[in-house]
Amino acid sequence: MSVAGRTLFTLQRCVCMRDMTKVAAGVVGVKQKHEGLVRFSETPKALLHTTTSSSFPSFGTDRLPRAQHSIPESYEQVEKSTAEWAYVERLFPPKSIPKPIAKPGEVMPSGWKSPSACPGDYSYFVHRSPSHLYPVYIKHTPMRCRYITKLHHIEGDIFALAEDLRVYLMAKRQPRLINMRVHEPHQKIHIKGQYVAEIREFLQEKGF
Amino acid sequence: MSLTLRLAFYPRLHCVVRNVVTSCSKGATDTVVVPKSSGAPLIIQDKWKDDKGAVEGREAWVETLDNSTNSTQLGLIHLNPRIFASYPRLDIIHENVVWQKKSRMVNYAHTKHRSEVRGGGKKPWPQKGSGRSRHGSIRSPLWKGGGIVHGPRAFTTQFYMLPYHKRVRGLISTLSAKFAQDDIKIVENLDMPSDEAGYLEQLCEDRYWGPSVLFVDESDIMPRNITLATDTLGHMNLMPVYGLNVYSMLKHTTLVLTVGATRLMEEKLLYNLDRPDGRSLVTRFRK
């Protein structure tokens, strides 16, 4: 079909739709309510699009069946129902990561271990992150030779924890020095070097 | 000798680690407050599902603003340690205060451009022949009295948004610090028997509530009497929970919270501490 022909078709459809909205709104005064599609034969001939001007040539599009949509009666009454809300609610994301159902100290197949330490066991306590993982992080900028291991979520005597950690790391890795900073205002411990795995093992042994 | 900030020496700020598991605040009914009037003691507890830490839960008296009752203390409320007993981050509190001040700051300093300085439309001397350097205008930035190129321009706003989690931490740190200093008072509600400002002033005087008091309630529609009483007082203000901010909490000496406001605040702050979609909040204001 040529470009002119296609634009003609679109124009016809636009005009057709405008007339159909009039049918749906009942503006033209057609009283009968149509359910779903309206048959071509039922539509009053006055509302059918007819090209009065002879300037547009027809390509046989007049005889194609047109889908005429009207709003069914059942949609006109609105009913409030809360019975289906449960189906919507179950699609919402959870507000927090749910706590895994595990006994204290239980080790999962993935290697995740449930915390087993009670608050009174030591003079300090390291609680898990919101995603139930060990709060050990490494700070490193690419191409720089500086690695700082950080331990967060410390409660209680932070200095005692730092000393225990120093003893543990000295025994484990036997480095020449362990440069450690107890950041008291932020309640964190910074260790120069890469000690993430060792600190995780330390926390696991303690049961945090 | 390195300077160590031994905050542990200050008993208020030191996070007390529970020695016995059974003494957790959730189940304890040993400490019972029995008011003089007969009836069951009022102990407002809450079961917090994710009690991960070892910090003890805090307790506070539930008071009333009605002086005509036998006792002004009605009962006890248990407060979540993650909100009211966290280790206060002083740097984050400072950042919040600076942010709040700067957000509404407008810099009125202004310098004129070369186009704005009076004069300088004419070429001072011809391009060639005079022996002097070439110039097009006497108000160019090279000249004395000329325009300023990159100077301050009036009505420059200093607005910026502090990262979401810093704002949450700021509120939590301020509440913890205030509670540690006994500057938080919990009341049942803001109902008062009298609508006179004098009544409220006398009440605060008797109870040693600081020069300035901030009353926080759940909704923004407050009871009639307290609204009228605080209307003329500049140092006593009312605020709904959604208006709570670090600057106001530090500006007012005493913070008076209703039970409903406390619970609502705890619920919202706890949700924001553990929400899994935290990343989406941070990326919004990234440059």
The rounded mean pLDDT for chain A is: 78
Indicate the pairing of strand A136-140 with strand A124-126. Answer: unpaired
Is B273 part of the contact surface with chain A (CB cutoff 8 Å)? Answer: yes
Smallest CA–CA distance from A123 into chain B, residue = B17
| Percent of chain A whose predicted confidence (pLDDT) is above 90 | 55
Confidence of residue B32 (pLDDT cuts 50, 70, 90): very low
- Going by C-alpha positions, the residue among A158, A157, A185 that lies closest to residue B88 is A185
Supply the pLDDT for residue B287: 54
How many Å lie between the alpha carbon of A194 and the closest alpha carbon of chain B? 25
Closest residue in chain A to residue B2, using alpha carbons only: A181
Give me the residue spans of the domains in chain B.
1-40, 42-101+159-284, 107-157
Confidence of residue B27 (pLDDT cuts 50, 70, 90): very low
- For the cut 50, the answer to whether the pLDDT of residue A65 exceeds it is yes
**Set of chain B residues whose Cβ sits within 8 Å of the Cβ of A95:** 271, 274-275
- Report whether A147 contacts A194 (CB < 8 A): yes
Share of chain B above pLDDT 70, in %: 83
Q: Which residue of A has its CA nearest to B270?
A: A96
For testing the chain A interface, which of B50, B51, B86, B90 should be mutated: the one with the most A CBs within 10 Å? B50
Interchain contact, A119 vs B50, CB within 8 Å: no
Look up residue B261 and give its two tokens.
Answer: 């406001």
Residue A64 has pLDDT above 50, yes or no: yes
The reported pLDDT for the residue numbered B50 is 58
Q: Provide the H-helix boundaries in B118-258.
A: 164-180, 197-206, 224-231, 246-251
Which parts of chain A fold into alpha helices (H)?
Answer: 3-25, 85-89, 158-173, 196-206
pTM: 0.74
Is A164 a residue whose pLDDT tops 70? yes
- Convert the pLDDT of each residue in B210-266 to its tens digit: 899 999 999 999 999 999 999 999 999 999 999 999 999 999 999 999 999 999 999
Residue A123: predicted pLDDT: 95
Amino acid at A40: F
Distance CA B57, CA B79 (A): 6
| ipTM field | 0.76
Radius of gyration of the CA atoms of chain A, in A: 37
Q: Write out chain B residues lying below 8 Å of A131, CB-based.
A: 276
* Residue B235 contacts A where some CB pair is shorter than 8 Å: no
- Please report the pLDDT score of residue B29 as a whole number: 37
> Which residue is closest to B50 within chain A, CA to CA?
A99
Closest-CA residue in chain A for B8? A157
User: What is the spatial distance between Cα B187 and Cα B209, in angstroms, rounded to a whole number?
Assistant: 13
Tell me the per-residue pLDDT of B191-217, one tens digit each, with 9 for 90 and over. Answer: 999 999 999 999 999 999 989 999 999
Calpha distance A78→A181 (Å, rounded): 66
DSSP H stretches of helix in B70-206 = 81-84, 90-103, 164-180, 197-206
Query: How far is the alpha carbon of A135 from chain B, nearest alpha carbon, in Å?
Result: 13
**What single letter denotes the amino acid at residue B208?**
Y
Lowest mean pLDDT across A9-18, A58-67, B113-122, B179-188: A9-18
Tell me the chain A residues in contact with residue B91 when contact means C-beta distances shorter than 8 Å.
185-186
B168, B176, B274: best mutation site toward chain A, by most A Cβ within 10 Å? B274
A115, exposed or middle or buried, with CB in 10 Å at 0-12, 13-18, 19+? buried
Residue type, A203: L
The CATH number of the structural domain formed by B42-101+159-284 is 3.40.1370.10
Residue B248's closest CA among B260, B258, B239? Answer: B239
pLDDT at A32: 43
Helix (H) or strand (E) holding B259: helix B259-274
Residue for token digits 């948004």? B161
pLDDT value at position A56? 63
Select from B2, B6, B16, B17 the residue whose CB has the most chain A CBs within 10 Å, as the one to mutate to test that interface.
B17
**Phi, then psi, of A111 in degrees rounded to 5:** 105, -5
Other CB atoms within 10 Å distance of the CB of residue B77:
21
Residue A119 to residue B18, Cβ atoms within 8 A: yes
Residue of chain A nearest B5, judged by CA positions: A184
pLDDT tier for residue A9 given thresholds of 50, 70 and 90: very low
What average pLDDT does this structure show over A194-208?
96
Question: What's the pLDDT tens digit per position in A80-139?
Answer: 889 999 999 999 998 889 888 999 999 999 999 999 998 889 999 999 999 999 999 999
- Cβ contact (<8 Å) for A157 and B54? no
- Which residue would you say has higher pLDDT here, B26 or B210? B210
Q: Does B271 touch chain A (CB under 8 A)?
A: yes
Q: Please provide the size of chain A in residues.
A: 208
